[in-house]
Structure 1
């Protein structure tokens, strides 16, 4: 490794101290000053890449890491840094290559070992990911983060008992919100709701949940009666979560004075007359005064719900007198049995690759007799090899979606908001799930305690959609 010139050693030490202290802006300026005086210093470029990556400036980070490797191709830290940036930008194959190169140069490189496991998990190569998670943990057994990582991989493999043990081990070593959230998650998957609820609030403390937090000064509601006061219940996550949990609003209202419910604008028409809400607002409305507040997903925990005593779904449907677009009405005028299809969720969802399916697989439904197919697919996607009537271009909001669903005989969907809307409307709903599902669907079973009219079809192994479609086609052919 090259030695910096004596006159800039102090600058390099200053940059590294600022980086280690979390002063990323100061470290960025310090590394740039070092490089301006000695552009051939590979370690400075490598560290600059790490700082830029931490700041979210990944295009610049890629350039810095590649410059470091040009100067010192056998630097494991630079390979590790470049692998991290490539993984963050979606180039998983490139990330794997650089992590493996780092490990060839430095077999005990903990960051490369752990990050390699993470990329393998993202690729669905969970058996390999587990092996590398265990290798990382062997290098640092007392790390709460590495115990958490192994637990997460085990959970995705369906080994829930082992996963729970790792999350508990992580929490014994350090108070990681992510370990608390995953502990709640693994218990929810098993239907152990009352054990899970104490750790459920950690969902808003992990990076994926922090954006959903609100900075209200009003106190959080603890589930106690609040006569004469006003409670604001606010949405925190996706559209499907909102449709699922509005069933709790009447229970909250029964304990107090007024309930305000703040939801998304696209749900305003659908939820405008929601039982349990004195007033429904959107995120664009000015909030009136209120005394207490709670995120919507706190309510099942506050009421200590369990799968055997869940409140029934809110009876959703198109608003009274709703007039859909004429083109949508015409598309659904034809007689005969009609089935709605959704085969993919939002491309922006972090689990989209796992939850969505290749529409070509829906060709297995061609032989189902006496069904006309209607697409409810919102995000632009490839279409299945079926004679489809495309309804989605005519949807203005979820009121139109609900009106269309009310004209269908059954709905077939992956895990999207449509599943929750159809279930809340009491429609015959076939839900297609990946091997590792969202917690609300439990890990096993063909029925859902949340929606009595729903039948669940599960992957028997990660990525195995073909058996799911065969099972679905068989059920439809027999009229189930």
Structure 2
């Protein structure tokens, strides 16, 4: 591999300086300028790919890093970037290959070792992930990010005390490490230690991955104090299920002040109806009217000091009055026997979708339940399970109003952890919620009772990947 021409070196140095300073837009332009003058510089292609990856432009990043590796196949740094890009594109198996090739070329590469552990954890191969985390720790025992990653793997294994110690060690090395604060809060929430968790919970806003609607406002953040005569904007910063779940806090906010403006997603507008505590609802596509204070929705439980013992009741959600039933729903509603619905997959864009969603074929034993007619409320995802007479209602859904209308006809919903579970729980629909071994924090690590929704029963994997025992419990209940 030839060194860059001398006249190119200042341009390359400028691009690298901008990248290290976090000026990603400037770095992007600078690397493109370098490559327009000399397109045969593999490091420029690799660094360009890294910038594009950080900006979320993963397809472009993939093309750039492939060009870097075409020019210089022996390039561990480019292989690490390739691994990150492939993971972001939903190809974790290919990402593993890239990281392992990087380690073949450079066995002591810290980034490849740490990222290998992360992908293994995402795939549920936790014993291998822990081994890789410990290898990374041996390479960099003082690195807070390595401690953080170790804690994350231990947390997913259910080894919560060890995970907490790792997060605290990461914060001792770097008190400003937002990911460590967020994971520490997550772990404590998972254990039901809500009051201990809330001080660190806001760190989630400094870890933007997975936040669907992160906003920035000049207006001051609300601190929970009374605000008579003023307007508070409460905005939905996360996903659809989070929005449905935490809308219950709006009446508490309204009781402390003047006007509450709630910004949410257009597809939820119908089921929110005349939401208690919201003087006005606007969608993310609408212009906001003037307001004086603002708070992301998930700040509210911390501001009110919630614990599992004193959660406010769910928001009263449902289909809009007079919402028309489709012919398919009408026919399902009028048939004989018990009516049960199924949802087996969440959004494929969710970072942990592989863990929370299941192969619909695993639901086939439910077909043996006597006197039960099954309907799919699934929108998208893999094909339905082989249940006799299964009615596909999900294909007729246009928004959550249609989903709510279908839920209102059910005697039981069986679902994985997705937004439909929150809508059903808010509507009081009897629900069996299938949870992975390591669940989302709001469900806790143990128990069947759900403090957020009295009508929901939590059915858990006894070990990672083991859905059959939970499905067998449902069949037992239905017999």
Deviations 1:365-409 (A, max 9, x none): 111111111111122431111121122233343333223222211
Deviation at 1:66, TM superposition (A): 4.0
Deviates more, 1:464-473 or 1:440-449: 464-473
1:431 to 2:433 alignment: yes
1:171 match: 171
* CA shift in 2, pair 1:287/1:56, >3 Å: closer
Distance (whole Å) between structure 2 residues aligned to residue 149 and residue 10 of structure 1: 37
Deviation at 1:431, TM superposition (A): 0.4
Deviation at 1:363, TM superposition (A): 0.6
Structure 2 residue runs of 5 or longer lacking an equivalent are: none
Instruction: Give the count of matched residue pairs.
Output: 477
* CA shift in 2, pair 1:217/1:22, >3 Å: closer
* CA shift in 2, pair 1:292/1:390, >3 Å: same
Deviates more, 1:31-40 or 1:431-440: 31-40
Deviation at 1:184, TM superposition (A): 0.7
Aligned 1:25-424 pairs, distance under 5 A: 27=27, 42-174=42-174, 175-208=176-209, 212-386=213-387, 387-424=389-426
CA RMSD, Structure 1 to Structure 2 (Å): 2.6
Deviation at 1:209, TM superposition (A): 5.4
**Contact 1:158 1:436 (C-alpha < 8 Å) held by counterparts:** yes
2:470 match: 468
**Contact 2:61 2:85 (C-alpha < 8 Å) held by counterparts:** yes
Deviates more, 1:235-244 or 1:353-362: 235-244
Deviation at 1:187, TM superposition (A): 0.4
**Contact 1:328 1:394 (C-alpha < 8 Å) held by counterparts:** no
Distance (whole Å) between structure 1 residues aligned to residue 403 and residue 82 of structure 2: 45
Q: Is the radius of gyration larger for structure 1 or structure 2?
A: 1
Deviates more, 1:286-295 or 1:364-373: 286-295
* CA shift in 2, pair 1:4/1:49, >3 Å: same
* CA shift in 2, pair 1:106/1:206, >3 Å: same
Deviations 1:409-445 (A, max 9, x none): 1111111122112112222110001111111111111
Deviations 1:278-334 (A, max 9, x none): 333333444333332222211111111101111122233333444333443233111
**Contact 2:15 2:31 (C-alpha < 8 Å) held by counterparts:** yes
TM-score in terms of structure 2 length: 0.91
Distance (whole Å) between structure 1 residues aligned to residue 53 and residue 285 of structure 2: 34
* CA shift in 2, pair 1:468/1:71, >3 Å: same
Distance (whole Å) between structure 2 residues aligned to residue 303 and residue 20 of structure 1: 40
Distance (whole Å) between structure 2 residues aligned to residue 42 and residue 284 of structure 1: 42
Distance (whole Å) between structure 1 residues aligned to residue 43 and residue 287 of structure 2: 52
* CA shift in 2, pair 1:270/1:25, >3 Å: closer
Distance (whole Å) between structure 2 residues aligned to residue 368 and residue 424 of structure 1: 26
**Contact 1:204 1:212 (C-alpha < 8 Å) held by counterparts:** no
Structure 1 residue runs of 5 or longer lacking an equivalent are: none
Deviates more, 1:25-34 or 1:253-262: 25-34
* CA shift in 2, pair 1:13/1:185, >3 Å: same
Distance (whole Å) between structure 1 residues aligned to residue 275 and residue 185 of structure 2: 29
Deviates more, 1:120-129 or 1:282-291: 282-291
Deviates more, 1:303-312 or 1:116-125: 116-125
Distance (whole Å) between structure 1 residues aligned to residue 139 and residue 52 of structure 2: 27
